Amino acid sequence: MNDLHTGKWVCGFAPEIGEMLRTTENLCFRLNATAPDCKEEREGLVRRILGSIGESFLIHSPFRCDFGKHISIGDNFIANFNLTILDEGMVTIGDNVFIGPNCGIYTITHALLPDQRNEGVMKAAPVTIGSDVWLAANVVVLPGVTIGDGAVIGAGSVVTHDIPSHTLAVGNPCRVLREITDEDRVESIG
Tell me whether residue 129 is in a domain. yes
Higher pLDDT, 150 or 4: 150
- Of 5, 60, 110, 166, which residue is the catalytic one? 110
Tell me whether residue 87 is in a domain. yes
Burial state string for 14-33 with b = 16 or more CB within 10 A and e = fewer than 16: eeebeebeeebeebbeebee
For residue 101, the domain's CATH number is: 2.160.10.10
Q: Provide the domain limits for residue 49.
A: 2-180
- Whether the CB-CB separation of 85 and 129 falls below 8 Å is answered with no
Tell me whether residue 189 is in a domain. no
Going by pLDDT thresholds of 50, 70 and 90, the confidence category of residue 108 is very high
pLDDT(22) > 60: yes
Q: Using omega within 30 degrees of 0 as the cis cutoff, is the peptide bond preceding 62 cis?
A: yes
Q: What total number of domains does the chain contain?
A: 1
Tell me whether residue 82 is in a domain. yes
Q: Is 110 tagged catalytic?
A: yes
Tell me whether residue 174 is in a domain. yes
Q: Which residues pair with 168 in a beta bridge?
A: 152, 178
SS3 breakdown of the chain: % helix, strand, coil, rounded to 5? 20, 30, 45
